[in-house]
Amino acid sequence: FADNPNSFQILNDGFVSTEDGTGIVHMAPAYGEDDYRVCRAVDIPLVDPLDEDCKFTHQVPDYAGQFCKDADKAIIKALKHGGKLIHQTTIQHSYPFCERTDTPLIYRAIDAWYVRVEDLHERMLKNNAQVHWTPDHVGEKRFANWLADARDWNISRNRFWGSCMPVWVNIDDKDDMICVSSVAELEELSGVKVDDLHKHYVDRVVIERDGKTYRRTPEVLDCWFESGAMPYAQTHYPFENKEHFEANFPADFIAEGLDQTRGWFYTLMVLSTALFDKPAFKNVVVNGLVLAEDGLKMSKRLKNYPDPILVINEYGADALRLYMIYSPVVRAESLRFAEEGVKHALRHLLLPWWNAYSFFITYANIDGWTPEQSVPERDNLMDRWIQSSLARLEQQVTDAMDRYDLQAAVRPFVAFIDDLTNWYIRRSRRRFWKSDDDGDKMQAYATLYDVLLGLSKIAAPFTPFISETIYQNLKTNDMPESVHLCDFPTAADAQRDEVLEDQMAVVMSAVEMGRALRAEYKLKNRQPLARMHVVCDDEQLLANIQALETLISDELNIRTVEFSTDSSELATIQAKPNFKQLGPKLGPLMKKAVPLIGGLGGEQIAAISSGETVAVELEGKTIELTAADIEVVRNPKEGLAVSAEGSLVVGLDTQLNDDLVTEGLAREFVHTIQNMRKEMDLEVTQRIHIAYSGDDAIGCAIDRHLDYIMAETLALSCDPSAGEGVESNLNGHACVLFLSLAG
């Protein structure tokens, strides 16, 4: 090697530093990209004594035929024997390994064919700006940056399998070549019938022209070139289907992983820009990588992920789909796959949905209701609300899908299923239970039927299996055979009642606040309370809540709901400074501001809480206080539990008298009987006899509320008895219960 020109030079370049070593490295221009770049800049030629199998050639006669890494020990031994070995040691450093075999790769310069991508930078960036990316930052930053710095693309591979490079090279002049555009042209040039384009056939085809011999260059195309050519290859363009291709290019939508910004997305963009000066796709959804729960790549060798078939068998494919779509992986972020997340999707969305369907089927079958039955005009407020909520869901899903935002498309399902099961059905159960087949009951059936059928259509793209099952059991003979053959619902605007939606949302907030207070003060919902106070300084909002008073009282088991615009009836309020917010603003005046803020009046605090700015004087300076500057503390009046959220304040009367306690005990008795019915696996229509024993409090509660107990439990009798049964504790009172089926 010493005989090569420009050998043994000392060069300087920024890629070498003292951070990872001495600051001095040897250069091997045939075996490293930086080495190649630096040496070629000063005309140092490539020296490559390796063959295609990375074995030494005759240029290294002592080790000719040996794999280069296998010769390491022999070379060290020869250096030592010749007295030329200064030091021998092993160091650790980063080096590329084959992911499949865990063996080191050999980085080596070879002859190759390139696409001159660097000439396409500006055109590719212009075309990329026409694409709608989800999420947008992938296209605007990651992909755009990659396009701006893209290097010329090596499109050839020295392999057997692959599409053959269609280039025939003059055996005497490598710069003289023929690029063949079709099989027909190759047959014309060679005079040979070409039936097979695999390498071992095409390599035999020789072109003779003007006394010159041309043989095919031995390389095959990079498979990514084939991927990038997919839009054209799939229709055999330009040889066939020209009109079809031009009518459908660019593609409306594609989807792939984040790694494809350097793969398929990139090759599609390169070829479409070079050929047509336009992008190959209009919209793209980019997903992130699904990792194992430990944060590592999923590996068959490491077995660090659950068997997907077992996960599907345990939780269902729909639960897995929901978990994935609801996760950040659909927004190009990594997901640590956790089986618990699939279970959560099943428990909190699919099972409640299925329970709603099961509730409907159970009672519809009992009453023999069918969708063909005529229904009077639906005027029930709950029916109108859930239909409007379904229309809102449809619109939310449609808007999100129009933006190709999958995560945003499935997010509203969670809230809707909760509204359907924990509000609409919960508040409408008695309409299905009552024995009379009146108009209201028929409205309830028709509404729940329409909602479940509509929900199956909206959810079908995301949860195809449960949607299909529910649809098949609800559809009539004149409907499409499958939910996946139905049109996506489009009548959302016609059924929206946004005023009612807002009205119900406030009522539900008040109920949630009431539930939270019950939990805080350890008051079961089965324990009735005498009074609930609802306070709001917005009179219109208060009127909206008051219009639905019955919903609040029934849901929270309250006898009376009182409405007011004055929260001073419930609690005294006091302001405290938010030191984190005010400290930097007031500096040394902070200490003196504490009593000033603590002395703010109720009207001032209310104004600040509602978003207004209130000015106060401190040490001759005017200070403007906002909601972020203070914390409002409410001290409930005796016997009240108070909670506030925005402009809404609710208070519960926590004092219990004998009448309330007795009714609470009766409700607890009913709850226990209902649980026993479930454990006995009784049908919802089966009648029972109840026998019980307990103290005077239990006897008094049953006597006072006997009609209620028997109606709720479907009991034909409820009598005291000293016999054996199930021991229970009802609000601290021992009780023995026995149920028997009515004959």
Whole-angstrom distance, CA of residue 716 vs CA of residue 722 = 19
Show the tokens assigned to 743.
């004959």
Q: Has residue 296 been placed in a domain?
A: no
Residues 485 and 507 in one domain: no
Whole-angstrom distance, CA of residue 618 vs CA of residue 621 = 5
Residues 387 and 398 in one domain: yes
Q: What is the pLDDT of residue 677?
A: 93
Q: Has residue 413 been placed in a domain?
A: yes
Q: Has residue 645 been placed in a domain?
A: no
Residues 342 and 485 in one domain: yes
Could you write out the DSSP letters of every residue in 132-169?
A: EEESHHIIIIIIHHHHHTPPPEE-EE--SSSPBP-EEE
Contact 495, 388 (CB under 8 A): yes
Residues 664 and 553 in one domain: no
Q: What is the pLDDT of residue 609?
A: 78
Last residue of a domain, one of 539, 568, 597: 568
Q: Exposed/middle/buried for 97, CB within 10 Å: 0-12, 13-18, 19+?
A: exposed
Residue reference for tokens 């109840």: 690
Angle, in degrees to the nearest 10, between helices 317-325 and 406-419: 120
Q: Has residue 308 been placed in a domain?
A: no
Give the Cβ contact number of residue 158 at 10 Å.
Answer: 12
The type of residue at 216 is R
Q: What is the pLDDT of residue 1?
A: 57
Show the tokens assigned to 33.
């990209």
Q: What is the pLDDT of residue 52?
A: 85
User: Which parts of 686-732 are beta strand (E)?
Assistant: 688-694, 715-720, 726-730
Residues 160 and 191 in one domain: yes
Residues 122 and 241 in one domain: yes
Contact 443, 428 (CB under 8 A): no
User: Which parts of 414-548 are beta strand (E)?
Assistant: 529-536
Q: Has residue 132 been placed in a domain?
A: yes
Range of the domain at 706: 658-741
Q: What is the DSSP letter of 566?
A: -
Q: What is the pLDDT of residue 91?
A: 83
Whole-angstrom distance, CA of residue 264 vs CA of residue 228 = 6
Q: Has residue 298 been placed in a domain?
A: no
Q: What is the pLDDT of residue 723?
A: 75
Q: What is the pLDDT of residue 2?
A: 62
Residues 486 and 526 in one domain: no
Q: What is the pLDDT of residue 571?
A: 83
pTM, to two decimals: 0.79
Q: What is the pLDDT of residue 206?
A: 96
Contact 633, 607 (CB under 8 A): no
What's the total number of domains in the chain?
Answer: 5
The type of residue at 221 is L
Give the Cβ contact number of residue 452 at 10 Å.
Answer: 21
Query: Does residue 489 have a cis bond before it (omega within 30 degrees)?
Result: no
Whole-angstrom distance, CA of residue 690 vs CA of residue 737 = 7
Q: Has residue 165 been placed in a domain?
A: yes
For the chain of 743 residues, list the mean pLDDT of each consecutive stretch of 10. Answer: 75 81 84 87 87 90 90 91 89 83 86 94 97 95 95 92 95 95 95 94 95 95 94 93 94 94 95 96 94 88 90 96 93 92 95 96 91 77 94 95 94 95 93 79 93 96 97 95 94 78 92 95 95 90 89 94 87 85 83 85 80 83 85 86 88 95 96 94 91 93 95 92 86 93 84
Last residue of a domain, one of 568, 583, 613: 568
Residues 523 and 617 in one domain: no
Residues 431 and 539 in one domain: no
Q: How far is CA 430 from CA 106, 174, 453, in A?
A: 76, 89, 22
Residues 253 and 350 in one domain: no
Contact 527, 519 (CB under 8 A): no
**Closest C-alpha to 574, from 626, 632, 535:** 632
Q: Rounded to 5 degrees, what angle do the CA atoms 239, 245, 247 make?
A: 145
Q: Has residue 554 been placed in a domain?
A: yes
Residues 240 and 262 in one domain: yes
CATH number where 162 lies: 3.40.50.620
Residue reference for tokens 């945003």: 408
Last residue of a domain, one of 287, 308, 326: 287
Residues 508 and 611 in one domain: no
Whole-angstrom distance, CA of residue 232 vs CA of residue 236 = 6
